[in-house]
Chain A
Amino acid sequence: MTAVLLVVAAYLASAVEAVEALTIVLAVGITRGWRSTLVGVGAASLALAVVVAALGPALTALPISSLRIVVGSLLLVFGLQWLRKAILRSSGLKSLHDEEATFREESEAARRAGDRTVEGLDWYAFTVAFKGVLLEGLEVAFIVVTFGSNQGSIPLAAVGAAAAAITVVIAGVAARAPLSRVPENTMKYSVGLLLTTFGTFWAAEGAGVDWPGQDAALLGLLAFYVVVSRALVSILSERPGRPREPVEEAG
């Protein structure tokens, strides 16, 4: 069961971040040309692979109780960030991510940027594509390394993440447009729930807690956080005096 949830979490997290990275890459590639953009994507992908390859073995070398409390705490804080944003978006307090708007802004910025060529590469296209893929991908690399190391299977988490990235790239190439109809907030909400559930479970185990029912407690935790988060969305949505326009915020 935990292996399935591991792959699901890595897949969903990777899909969400890949959709965001794809929007940036498409905007730069269509506006500035594909060669330098794709070199930037390749360089960022290589950097991400190095991060996973370097951090993975370092984490798995830790004793299991230390690993669980360190990684569990990080996953918990990270998962709560995703869950918090998803709750605020679901309750209308924060704007939903708009890939079409991001695409327009990135395309406009790419058109206005000057021409600077370094080693035969369009420096603007390379840098924006590199940064876009690296920054979006770092969250996925973090999830793959922490989730995979605690579950004892970094390759399994990496397969889930890679499968999502491939799916999004194929869909993007087919559509030749940003994937604006992907239910990003629902996916972020699901990832937030999974990271918070596993983070709580592992961090508490590392702190010395014995969970009733052992691994089965994960399902109880997941159900508990689903109920809590839906209740929070419901309470925040019903509050009088809500602003008409949700707040714009990155991420």
Chain B
Amino acid sequence: MSRNLWFNLSIALALILIAAFAGRLHKWDWHRSSQHTSQTSREREQTTTDPGSDESDSSKTEILVRFRPNVTRDAIENLTSRLNDEVEDRIEAVDGLDVIEDEDNRSADEVVAQYRALSEVEYAEANSEIKLDHEGAGKHVHANDELFYKQWGLFNHGQDGGKSGADISAMQAWAVTKGSDQVVVAVLDSGVDYTHPDLAGNIWTRPEIIKQYEDEDLTEGAIDDVHGFNVVEDNGDPMDDNGHGTHCAGIIGAEGGNEVGISGVNWTVKIMPLRFMDSDGAGTTKDAIEAINYVINRKRAGVNVRVISASWGSTIKSRAMEDVIRKAGDEGILFVAAAGNDHSDNDAKPHYPASYDLNNVISVAALDRNDELTSFSNWGATSVDVAAPGQQIVSTWLNHGFEERQGTSMATPFVAGVAALILSTNTAISIDDLRTRLLISVDAVPALKGKVATGGRINAAKAVASQ
């Protein structure tokens, strides 16, 4: 009996030990599984989270405030401190524009109202989070254009030795907007081949209700500006005989999704061709001013021209040109300009018109397909605003062809094109807001730190998201 008892107890103990060990195994296995599960969740979060999103304390209210030019840094610090706020960041590209963080749990509307009430403040607005909205997130629109595979600036998947993702995120932007024929972009250049099959549908034509161009100093009466203006020959035919203007126009708005050639940043837009440079790609300050004057005239006449793309320049400073560009800004026209190709610092040696310190000017440097500043591009920690693709850029050319070119000339129309995309979804946006939106939606690029004011590459998807 006792032997049986011991035998039974031994069996029971063995079973308990087996059960316990089995349970431990199961528990260990479950724990490992749960660790794996949570790790997978984290990985999943990382892949779906916008890499450009801010990981800082998102519970605090942040707003954007631009202080008036005469308000000193000390005064700004005193003001924000008095309101129990902090200057979280300065947007160096825009004088007086600060990111203000609220420290006493007020809503964005309340904080904005506080600052708008101050005489020292030019404007204040909520810092709406820029991210791809849920519906747009992950969506891409692929262009079927024949040479799209070469357009690394729009979609860089590492082709030809490039760095995947080093592009302007065009395909994500196109899930939100592909542009609009109500937005007019002036290409101030060597003219544009307005008969090019990949451009013709996106060339501006003066509506009948808009009168022909008349300028006080025109001795031969009005100019029949059907598609634009030729300042060099003082007529209404801005046909390109150099190729440069046609190339820039294609980057902004070659027809997209038509199986022909390339896709522009905008599939649909209206390009206003202007010719002030000759067949050698050179022009005078006076002719550039005349062309800008034409754009202002057309804007006042009712044409919705909101962007001038200026892929040219020199080291010559002109007060007259500065004045006419400022006037364009007063009319709600953004002026996007090439930083220059001298591989020099524009802070030390300015390059105009990009270096005019005006609220409507954006200065653009050039990146290569690996997100490195190109060997030729100018830079400027305070005077150059952003960078965009500018090397081995394929676009429309003369004789209905397509060619590759490099230069800050090519980077500039990428930015002008993104401005047009923004305008296609928000036609009433002010020039200050348009410029700010372009500058705060960049992707930070390590090679641009200390080289351009925003430290980033233009990002079309962020620029058109959550407007």
Q: Do A and B share a complex?
A: no
A interface residue numbers (CB < 8 A to B): none
B interface residue numbers (CB < 8 A to A): none
